[in-house]
Amino acid sequence: MSEKERIELAEILFPNIKHDRAYYENMYPERSLTEGAMVTRFGPSPTGFVHMGSLFGAFCDYIFAKQSNGIFYLRIEDTDQKRSIENGVEGIYKDLEAFQITPDESEIVAGDYKPYIQSRRTEIYQTYVKDLIVQGLAYPCFMKEEEIAAVREEQENNKMKIGIYGLYAVDRDLTLNEIKEKLENKEEHVIRLKSPGNSKNQIEIIDCIKGKMKLPENDMDIVLLKKDGTPTYHFAHVIDDHLMHTTHVIRGDEWVSSLPIHIQLFKILGFDMPKYAHTAPITKKENGNIRKLSKRKDPEAKVSYYEEVGIPIEAVKLYLATILNSNFEEWYLNNNDKTIGDFTFTFDKMAVGGTLFDLDKLNNICKTYFSRKSGQEIYDETLKYTEKFDLEYNKLLKENKEDMIKFLSIEKDGERPRKDIAKYSDVKEEFSYAIDSLFEEENYSKNDSDKTYDINLIIDYVKNYLDLNVSNEEWFNKIKEFATNNGYASTPKEYKKDPDNFNGHVGDICEAIRVMITGRTKSPDLFSIMKILGKDRIIKRINLYQNKIS
């Protein structure tokens, strides 16, 4: 086809496209950002909710943009109607907001590169395709579904690469008249790329995460515009990332195989390439096998799961940060007063293979997170959580506010703060002894000790010796004295040396008190608990225990 014919064809195919490329290039000028600033984007399809894999992607985008004083924007990629659901976009905004992964630009915030919804950019895509037609780099393809299926079958039988390329691209060289005829006959068509590539050639690309990659050059005449005139992902993202001036495309590595297509598109369109960073999938270990985290099978793949079980969003983000950079966790554990914003993330510390999503690890991170919160903060946040998910406990928390804060504040100071809570819903369990009615109701159900204790000895101790107005040290010295006076060793070591000579050691007395007043063998500092409870409640609980075992 001559150039004149190609111009005619472009007009026939796109009579309503009046602007040219320059129009859009002027409309979306370069961003004025400082050197090194990254422009990243999160490009979800509106499938309703964000799952952990894509949240991780958005988190990466956000982190890299923010730490380089760049821009993180949200672009809704809704060109595939099959994957879009009604109100799907709202779900995305909501989930991002919940995680405070706030875009600088999106359809509903600000931004000079609007629209940020692909379905509203059709005219832009068509303008560029029109130009490719003129250049002889794209063509209308009228192949019917049955024909494409037959090609596929033949390729499968001959163990060939599947797709429309080379000799299979039968409409590549249609004449203008042939095309006109087909159009007159109302034959449906897509617009395909006329790929200038040869798959025998290798192209080289440096991926920010995976490093140097060698891939075969693209020779597929992929679809640029579908029958309804809307673009494919391949084409739309290239145009958008160019016009929106994305510097780093961070996306899942399932896209690596189509990277040669994208590189070719950037090249033939005459655009500068952004840098690509392909992230490893988030995986899960199940019965010794590793598989991708699944939206269907794994509740933790849904971001709403965390709110429901009471895992703070900040803690989930800390966990995402540990998956993002392999050196984050150690840094976080060693820096008590620091958090995500203080760390510098780099691509070279990102996983190249799969990233294991490990709930135990998440649990540990959560415990560290809570250990750094004050009793008051944990109280306030648990109150909010229970307002939504446990109204009954919420009422009890309000009624016992003062005590609750005191209990939650035990062992918070010092080098190694307590690490017992991993989620808001743990507070009720872990601190069941903090609220009388709850404690009585539970009736020592958490006591994992099968020992029998000398109740009279403990009653005698509490009534006649326990002084709650002393320091922790004084209290301990006194209980040691009480132990010795009653035939107990003052240290476990002393007891072990000569067990027959003692009834037990001071630790056994403490354990007895602990079991009687908290219903469990392990608890935060015993004396602190006793101080908050006060003598009367301690005695009441010992009596309760006595009734329970008699």
Cα three-residue angle 391-393-394, rounded to 5 degrees: 60
Contact between 40 and ligand GLU by CB under 6 A: the answer reads no
Spatial separation of the C-alpha atoms in residues 449 and 390, rounded to whole Å: 30
Which 65-94 positions form the footprint of ligand GLU (CB under 6 A)?
77
The distance of closest approach from Cβ of residue 246 to ligand GLU in the complex, given in angstroms and rounded to an integer, is: 9
Which single residue is written with the structure tokens 């994992």? 448
Select 74 or 311, whichever has its Cβ closest to ligand GLU.
74
Q: Looking at beta carbons only, is 45 or 447 nearer to ligand GLU?
A: 45
Per-residue string for binding with ligand GLU, 168-207, x by CB under 6 A? ----------------------------------------
Spatial contact of 195 and 165, defined as CB atoms under 8 Å apart? yes
**Site stretch for ligand GLU (CB under 6 A), options 39-47, 392-400, 513-521, 542-550:** 39-47
103 near ligand GLU (CB under 6 A): no
Minimum CB separation from ligand GLU for residue 216, in Å?
21
**Alpha helix positions (H), 136-196:** 145-157, 176-184
Instruction: Please report whether residue 400 would count as binding ligand GLU according to CB under 6 A.
Output: no
Is residue 45 within the footprint of ligand GLU (CB under 6 A)?
Answer: yes
Of 57 and 310, which has the nearer Cβ to ligand GLU?
57
Residue 341 CB neighbours (<10 A): 8
Does 312 bind ligand GLU (CB under 6 A)? Our answer is no
| Contact call for residue 279 and ligand GLU (CB under 6 A) | no
- Residue whose CB is less far from ligand GLU, 44 or 504: 44
Query: How far, in Å, CA of 189 to CA of 191, rounded?
Result: 7
Strands of the 282-286 sheet, one edge to the other: 289-292, 282-286, 355-356
Contact flags string 200-239 toward ligand GLU, x per CB under 6 A: ---------------------------------x---x--
> Least Å distance between CB 52 and ligand GLU?
14
| CB-based contact 70:32 (threshold 8 Å) | no
Decide if residue 44 touches ligand GLU (CB under 6 A). yes
The answer to whether residues 239 and 253 touch, using CB atoms and an 8 Å cutoff, is: no
Q: In whole angstroms, what is the distance from residue 219 CA to residue 234 CA?
A: 14
Alpha-carbon distances, residue 381 vs 222, 386, 449 (angstroms): 52, 9, 32
Give yes or no for residue 251 binding ligand GLU (CB under 6 A): yes
Binding part of the chain for ligand GLU, among 41-49, 194-202, 298-306, 421-429 by CB under 6 A, reads: 41-49
For the chain, helix, strand, coil in percent to 5 are 50, 10, 35
Residue nearer to ligand GLU on the CB measure, 33 or 256: 256
Give the nearer residue to ligand GLU in terms of CB position, either 82 or 186: 82
Q: How far is the CB of 298 from ligand GLU (least distance, A)?
A: 19
Q: Pick the closest to residue 135 from 13, 7, 242 (CA basis).
A: 7
**Minimum distance from CB of 300 to ligand GLU (Å)?**
20
Distance CA(436)–CA(249), nearest Å, equals 56
Closer to ligand GLU by CB, 88 or 524: give it: 88
| Inter-residue long-range contacts of 199-206, CB under 8 Å, 24+ positions, other chains counted | 199/161, 199/165, 203/260, 203/263, 205/259, 205/263, 205/276
Closer residue to ligand GLU (CB): 238 or 512: 238
Query: Is 43 one of the binding residues for ligand GLU (CB under 6 A)?
Result: yes
**Residues within the interface to ligand GLU (CB under 6 A):** 43-45, 77, 233, 237, 249, 251
